[in-house]
Amino acid sequence: MEEQKKRILLVEDDPNFGTVLKDYLMMNDYEVTHAKNGMEGFEKFKKDDFDLCILDVMMPYKDGFTLAKEIREKNTDVPIIFLTAKTMKEDVLRGYKVGADDYLNKPFDSEVLLMKIKAIIQRKATETISDSKQFEFKIGKFDLNSKLRFLRFDAGEPVKLSPKENELLRLLALHENDLMPRELALTKIWRDDNYFTSRSMDVYIAKLRKYLKLDEKVEILNIHGEGFRLVINN
Amino acid sequence: MEEQKKRILLVEDDPNFGTVLKDYLMMNDYEVTHAKNGMEGFEKFKKDDFDLCILDVMMPYKDGFTLAKEIREKNTDVPIIFLTAKTMKEDVLRGYKVGADDYLNKPFDSEVLLMKIKAIIQRKATETISDSKQFEFKIGKFDLNSKLRFLRFDAGEPVKLSPKENELLRLLALHENDLMPRELALTKIWRDDNYFTSRSMDVYIAKLRKYLKLDEKVEILNIHGEGFRLVINN
DNA sequence: CTTCTCTTTTAACCTTACATTAACAAAAAC
DNA sequence: GTTTTTGTTAATGTAAGGTTAAAAGAGAAG
């Protein structure tokens, strides 16, 4: 079976360590892009699609967490592994908040890192069955382009959607006629689950309903305690 | 937000540590079943549905890895976290091989464990559940979709069911024409068995009967002192 | 640095949905 | 005939969701 090499973005400011790690990963059949600081890391991230990011936490100018936040704004899915110099609890917790998939304490065992990489990439691969690269949806008489973030009714003037509106509608569309669990949206879009983010989400549901009113065949139904359902009647 | 408590199976042979950890998790809103060894752990696993397993590696008779293998044979999805006494590389690698989601070295920080639990359970929630089979039932002229929680008569307008109505009808449908023991519903749905939950269940039976009246061939019979029976006459 | 604009969150208030409890009637068991 | 179990309806309390508006952030432009 012909298998596409997985692409890793490695952001590590220590040139010695970075180079060694890069070479090690490449020897294990990954395609590695090495950035020497947060700034550069973000630039490279924007330019390419990666299957995984490995970020050093301690870096001058822009630390790993800040970089992760920026990356998350662009891409809610890409797995992130943090490298922390020592096991500081605050770091670990902060990492999870930003949506880390894992973290490793330096010095770490390279085989363990490989295992983690494998496990994480595999996990994503199974998750990403259908929602891989879907950015255009037909929703009744609407067209949603979630890459450009606009919603067009009946081939008319497109309305611009805010990032959150867009993500939420996209999630709903991905589950058209099916349940889109509340939890899913909260974890994928808001990455946090408390009373207020939950209310925030409800506010966005209201906004979307307003947009979608133009087509009376399209509606967002609530399933009490579970989530929402985008239905298209005919 | 009425959120169903997540259920954790904790297998830990050290009674002191096990009890403390159990209490800590329960204080943080998890429902915890504590097994004192691998054997017991597997028995409890078979009996119930868990959202997460936390397994101690070092246990007499049946170690955590062996238990994990057995669990994996029953269930390929449930997340597993290992607790290892010290960071032995072989253990870590072996853990990943068996399909661990994470591992923690004792002693560990309890807050970190909580974060990991949260992250892992959220991750699972993300993976879309689309086993339509177990959720759709034909009951006489009715269609029950117990994932979307609606009941439709004769291809007409669907009626929304409340969570309890839905679960109860689903249980009855699973035992169609057969006895559905009272106790089964009480333990599976209400997870509690006392005078009042029992009365509550009767109230729901009445509700379901009302819905099902539309098809005179469908009825819920009582078997005194035993339970109920969903029968479809022809 | 300030202002303007767009986005998101927080707050408030109201409605709907749900589960439980109580009360009483009916049926079954003994 | 008395006790226990079940059938049913209504009342209550709480939680979740709908909606709107104001506050708070964030970024761009002046």
Structure tokens at A47: 């330019």
Q: Quickly give B203 CA vs C25 C1' distance in Å.
A: 15
Q: Is the CB of B226 under 7 A from strand D?
A: yes
Interval A170-224: pLDDT, tens: 999 999 999 999 999 998 899 887 888 889 999 999 999 999 999 999 999 999 9
> Is it the case that residue A126 has pLDDT exceeding 80?
no
Residue-by-residue pLDDT tens, chain B, 234 positions: 345 678 899 999 999 999 999 999 988 888 899 999 999 999 999 988 899 999 999 888 888 999 999 999 988 889 999 988 766 667 677 777 777 778 777 767 788 888 888 888 877 766 655 555 578 999 999 999 999 999 999 989 999 999 999 999 999 999 999 999 999 999 999 987 787 788 999 999 999 999 999 999 999 999 999 999 999 998
Judge whether A224 is closer than 8 Å to chain B, CB to CB: yes
Walk me through the domains of chain B, giving residue ranges and CATH numbers.
6-126 (3.40.50.2300), 134-232 (1.10.10.10)
Q: Best residue in B122, B127, B150 to probe A by mutation, most A CBs within 10 Å?
A: B122
Which pLDDT score is estimated for A131? 46
Cβ atoms of B10 and B54 closer than 8 Å: yes
pLDDT band at A159 (very low <50, low <70, confident <90, very high): very high
Tell me the pLDDT of chain A averaged across its residues. Answer: 86
Instruction: Give the H/E segment covering residue B139.
Output: strand B136-139
Residue indicated by tokens 């999870």: A96
- B125 with A187: Cβ contact below 8 A: yes
Amino acid, res. B187: T
Which pLDDT score is estimated for B1? 38
| Cβ-Cβ contacts under 8 Å, A91 against chain B | none
> Is it the case that residue A128 has pLDDT exceeding 70?
no
Helix ranges (DSSP H) in A88-229: 89-97, 110-127, 163-174, 182-185, 195-212
Cβ atoms of B55 and B63 closer than 8 Å: no
- Cα–Cα distances (Å) from A148 to A141, A144, A160, in that order, read 18, 9, 8
CB count in 10 Å sphere of residue A141: 17
Residue A171's Cβ-count burial label (10 Å; 0-12, 13-18, 19+) is buried
Q: Best residue in B148, B152, B160 to probe A by mutation, most A CBs within 10 Å?
A: B148
Q: Is the CB of A198 under 7 A from strand D?
A: yes
Helix axes B110-126, A89-97, angle to 10 degrees: 20
> Is it the case that residue A150 has pLDDT exceeding 70?
yes
Residue indicated by tokens 């297998």: B11
Q: For residue A131, what is the nearest residue in chain B, using CA coordinates? A: B128
Judge whether B6 is closer than 8 Å to chain A, CB to CB: no
> Is it the case that residue A161 has pLDDT exceeding 80?
yes
Q: What is the percent of chain A with per-residue pLDDT over 70, rounded to a whole number?
A: 90
Cα–Cα distance for residue pair A50/B21, rounded to 1 Å: 38
Q: String of b and e for A10-41 (b: at least 16 CB within 10 Å)?
A: bbbbeeeebeebbeebeeeebebbbbbbbebb
Q: Is the CB of B200 under 7 A from strand C?
A: yes
Residue A126 phi, psi dihedral angles, 5° rounding: -75, -35
The mean pLDDT of A110-132, rounded to a whole number, is: 73
C-alpha torsion sign, points A61, A64, A66, A68: positive
Q: Supply the Cα-derived Rg of chain A in whole angstroms.
A: 20
Cα–Cα distance for residue pair B135/B205, rounded to 1 Å: 20
Cα–Cα distance for residue pair B183/A164, rounded to 1 Å: 45
Q: Is the CB of B165 under 7 A from strand C?
A: yes
C-alpha torsion sign, points B45, B56, A112, A77: positive
Which pLDDT score is estimated for A83? 87
Amino acid, res. A164: K
Amino acid, res. A151: L
Comparing A28-32, A47-51, A135-139, which segment has the lowest mean pLDDT? A47-51
Q: A189, A51, A184: which is closest to A122 by C-alpha?
A: A51
Cβ atoms of B174 and A205 closer than 8 Å: no
Q: Quickly give B207 CA vs D8 C1' distance in Å.
A: 9
Residue B23 phi, psi dihedral angles, 5° rounding: -60, -40
